[in-house]
Amino acid sequence: MSLADRSAAEESQTCLGHRAIVSLRNVHKSYGAFEVLKGISLDVRKGEVVCIIGPSGSGKSTLIRCINGLSAIQSGSITVDGQEVNDPKLDKLALRKKVGIVFQQYNLFPHKTALENVMMAPLKVLREPRAQVEERARALIAKVRLTGKENAYPGQLSGGQQQRVAIARSLAMRPDVMLFDEVTAALDPETVKEVLVTIKELAAEGMTCILVTHEMGFAREVANHVYFTDGGIIVEHGKPDQLFKNAKDPRTRQFLSQVL
Ligand code: ADP
Ligand code: MG
């Protein structure tokens, strides 16, 4: 490789490293006459962990659902990997494969085992061969530290264990981006940590993660960037240290004083 070629390759790699995989520009979303998102813009680069914090009702869940195409927006733009999410011609299945989502309520199929829950989408949606799907599902269950629980039904698992099955189920679609909407909010305090450890490990492996969370310690430790939302706008954003130690906006400071 010539020197010129090499520097071109390096440059394109740098560009790739800085390219936003999820990009929102001036996103507006209303429910009827009620405007929930009032011009949200943010960028998430590949491998980044971005946390969204803010009071209840500020539009965080709506924002997450819009990124996954579960909720339509009225104006602005949301792109995932360069594709406009609200393009009516967009292949919704391709988008859902690319963007995994985990909710507060894990909604596992109660009459299916942990392993079957993880295998379901690759079998039914991707129509991949069973043996291959099972091998991968077992590996994912090991990854979320649930080896030995493959044949347990959701009702036999703790909330934290069920949530980790839900994460494995989402990972089974091989997403490029994972969205987490308050996934620890319904858990007992002692199981919150095990779920956060799983997410932390995913982040360390380079998974792009967008998390709505009330776990400020986690946000501070794991996030590359934190956004504070209130009333449908991004009030302030920055690196965790800056936001948590030196918030500029009184609304951010007020919120942090209540949750820290
Ligand atoms: P957060 O996750 O920050 O608590 P949400 O995105 O859930 O906020 O909700 C933002 C606002 O939008 C709230 O006032 C909520 O009542 C309203 N809202 C959410 N979903 C709907 C819906 N499907 N229809 C009407 N209003 C909704
Ligand atoms: Mg919410």
**pLDDT tens-digit map of 228-257:** 999 999 999 999 999 999 999 999 999 999
CB of 57 shorter than 6 A to ligand 1: yes
* pTM for this prediction: 0.92
Whose CA is closest to atom 22 on ligand 1?
31
61 lines ligand 1 (CB under 6 A): yes
Q: How far is the CA of 72 from the centre of ligand 2 (A)?
A: 17
Q: Is 62 in the pocket of ligand 1 (CB under 6 A)?
A: yes
Which is nearest to 173 in space by CA: 127, 114, 106, 206? Answer: 127
Q: Would you tell me the crossing angle of helices 130-143 and 114-124 to the nearest 10 degrees? A: 130
Contact 204, 196 (CB under 8 A): no
Residue nearest to atom 5 of ligand 1 (CA): 59
Which residues, at least 6 apart from 59, have a Cβ–Cβ distance to it below 8 Å? 29, 36, 37, 40, 229, 231, 232
Report the distance separating Cα 199 and Cα 183, nearest Å.
Answer: 10
Nearest CA to 164 among 121, 82, 172? 172
- What whole-number distance in Å separates Cα of residue 215 and Cα of residue 108? 23
Distance 63 CA to ligand 2 centre (A): 9
| Cβ–Cβ < 8 Å for 56, 42 | no
Confidence class for position 33, pLDDT limits 50, 70, 90:
very high
Give the atom of ligand 1 at the shortest distance from the alpha carbon of 181: 2
Q: How far apart are the CA of 176 and the centre of ligand 2, in A?
A: 22
CA angle 245, 248, 250 (to 5 degrees): 105
Q: With a cut of 90, say whether residue 41 has pLDDT above it.
A: yes
> Which of 62, 65, 235, when mutated, tests ligand 1's pocket best, judged by the most ligand atoms within 8 Å of its CB?
62
Q: Give me the pLDDT at residue 252, please.
A: 97
